[in-house]
Amino acid sequence: MLLEKVKKYLKAIERNNKKGKKINAILQVNPRVLEEARELERKKGKKGKLYGKIIAVKSNINIKGLNASCASKTLENYKCPYNATIIKKIKEEDGLIIGMANMDEFACGSSGETSAFGPTRNPLALDRIPGGSSSGSAAAVAAGFCDLALGSETGGSIRNPASHCGVVGVKPTYGLVSRYGLIDLSMSLDQIGPITKNVEDALLLLNVIKGKDEKDPTTYESKDIKFEKLGKIKIGLPDVKADEKIKELIEEKVKEISKKNNWQIMEIELPHIDLAVQTYYPLVYVEFFSATRRFDGRRFGKKIEDVCGEEVLRRILGGFEISKAEYKGKYYRKALQAKKVIKKEIEKAFEKVDCIIMPTVPKLPHKIGEKIDVEDMYNYDALTIPANLAEVPSISVPAGDIKGIPVGVQILTPRFKEGKMFSLARKFENA
Ligand code: GLN
């Protein structure tokens, strides 16, 4: 049965994935996938928690023998020598990896268009972007190329494409999931998380990949995450900048569900949330610049500056400039201070409410190839970045559509309150 399912997905990939007019969500199919499926079918004893699940993985996560190219010419020929901790865990639970997913180059982007191997198309609106940077992961789930996918996010790269593609995306609490084996964008912010068709699958995958890892000192011990009984919930609704239609859609959804469940809606203020984007980029530029110094062409890959795209180069040059000794860390430190302020504001809001709800992305995805300026591109993440800065979990679930284009709603809860977050998300899913 597993084998049949894999074959069905492979057929779908063959038919609908091709670069150009097609979706281009998968960069590399696992050449051993049929063999591995047979091995799993033959395996004796109790089946693992992920048995029967077929998974696509973002191309910045190491899987032994596959190509974690980061969708960059830099690592075009890089064959991973080891498994990331989360991949080990997935294999231990009998999950089957179907292939490596397209993404923005080195996770720098919000549209999927910065990939060196061509943009990914949105399966629900083929002329539009799927969002990014985990563009291929979200599109693969939405297009029916796999059951589950792994993405990573620094400022929204899981939730943003999940929202545009009409699927579920989870950014866990900072420290819940090991990043050992993730090719990082910005180590102080990066987290790996699931992208799935429904909330239950996201919970399943997160429970498998989470947990303390000696190889990643930022990780914590944690109990199994479970759906909880929700009592009287107080929802915090901040007034945010977003397209009117998106705001209306989300507010109506929140009102409808709150009424049905007898929850209370409270308007809350997050005065510095508008500074999230400006706070985020200096941190990312500096940390990314530092992370890219190993791609000097001597040990592996090509020298990054020689082959990378415009957005990656912008960040390397920007990061180099900000890191110069003469600034004595002035900009980076300022950004860290601003991060603290935003984090405190969100923590303070959680003293009064159980969760914060807002649109995942403030605008609809643009048409592929449409020229949009850097600032507009960065603003796609204006509402997702706050959760990364505050280190809290957030989930995006489909909330409806505007003229056929999916719109997601995100739910933020305090650190390690994933159980509540998933339970709330399920109410939205079932509404
Ligand atoms: N779009 C944001 C950026 O370009 C977020 C990327 C991410 O979360 N990996 O940095």
CATH number of the domain to which 163 belongs: 3.90.1300.10
How large is the average pLDDT for residues 338-358?
98
Range of the domain at 328: 1-431
Give the pLDDT confidence of 138-165 residue by residue, as tens digits: 999 999 999 999 999 999 999 999 999 9
For residue 353, the number of C-alpha atoms closer than 13 Å in the C-beta half-sphere is 25
153 CA distance to ligand 1 middle (Å): 7
Helix (H) / strand (E) containing 268: strand 264-268
Q: What is the longest distance spanned by two Cα atoms in the chain? A: 63
Report how far ligand 1's centroid is from the alpha carbon of 106 (Å): 9
Which residue, by CA, sits nearest to atom 10 of ligand 1?
Answer: 108
Strand partners, 193: 151
The H or E element that residue 14 is part of is helix 2-16
Report CA(319)–ligand 1 centroid distance (Å): 15
In the predicted model, what is the mean pLDDT of residues 104-131? 97
Q: Which atom of ligand 1 is nearest to the CA of 153?
A: 8
What is the C-alpha separation between 398 and 404, in angstroms, rounded? 12
Helix (H/G/I), strand (E/B), else coil: 20: coil
Statement: residue 247 has pLDDT above 90: yes
Distance CA 133, CA 131 (A): 7
Calpha distance 159→342 (Å, rounded): 19
Q: Which atom of ligand 1 is nearest to the CA of 134?
A: 9
H/E run at residue 191:
strand 191-196
CA gap 334, 279 in Å, rounded? 8
CA-CA-CA-CA dihedral for 323, 326, 329, 332, to nearest 10: -60
Centre of ligand 1 to C-alpha 149, Å, is 18
pLDDT for 431 beyond 90: no
pLDDT band at 390, cuts 50/70/90? Answer: very high
Q: By CB neighbour count within 10 A (0-12 exposed, 13-18 middle, 19+ buried), where does 64 fall?
A: middle
CA angle 175, 179, 184 (to 5 degrees): 115
* Substitution candidate for ligand 1 out of 102, 157, 277, 310 with most atoms within 8 A of CB: 157
Task: Work out whether the CA dihedral 418, 420, 422, 428 comes out positive or negative.
Answer: negative
ω into 133 cis (within 30 of 0): yes
Statement: residue 328 has pLDDT above 90 = no
pTM greater than the 0.85 cutoff: yes
Cα separation of 169 and 185, whole Å?
Answer: 19
Contact 408, 359 (CB under 8 A): yes
**Residue 202 has which token pair?**
């996201």
Element housing 422 (H / E)? helix 418-430
**Which residues neighbour 103 within 8 Å (Cβ) at sequence distance 6 or greater?**
58, 59, 60, 70, 71, 112, 115, 132, 133, 134, 135, 136, 137
Instruction: Tell me what pLDDT residue 215 has.
Output: 98
Share of the chain above pLDDT 90, in %: 96
Name the residue of 360, 372, 379, 381 to mutate for ligand 1: max ligand atoms within 8 A of Cβ: 381
Please give the pLDDT value at position 208.
Answer: 98
**Distance from CA of residue 304 to its chain's centroid?**
24
Distance separating alpha carbons of residues 91 and 106, to the nearest angstrom: 25
Residues with CB under 6 A from ligand 1: 107-110, 133, 153-157, 185, 284, 381
Active site residues: 58, 133, 157
Per-residue model confidence as pLDDT tens digits over 256-312: 999 999 999 999 999 999 999 999 999 999 999 999 999 999 988 999 999 999 999
Q: What is the pLDDT of residue 190?
A: 97
pLDDT at 325: 74
Residue 156 token pair: 């929204």
- List, for residues 28-83, the tens digit of each pLDDT value: 999 999 999 999 999 999 999 999 999 999 999 999 999 999 999 999 999 999 99
CB count, 10 Å around CB of 220? 15
Q: Total domain count for the chain?
A: 1
Q: How many helices (H) and strands (E) does the chain have?
A: 14, 11
Would you say residue 327 has pLDDT above 90?
Answer: no
Separation of alpha carbons 37 and 16, rounded Å:
22
**Secondary structure (3-state) at 181:** coil
The helix/strand/coil state of 353 is coil
Concatenated DSSP letters for 134-165? Answer: SHHHHHHHHHTS-SEEEEEESSSTTHHHHHHH
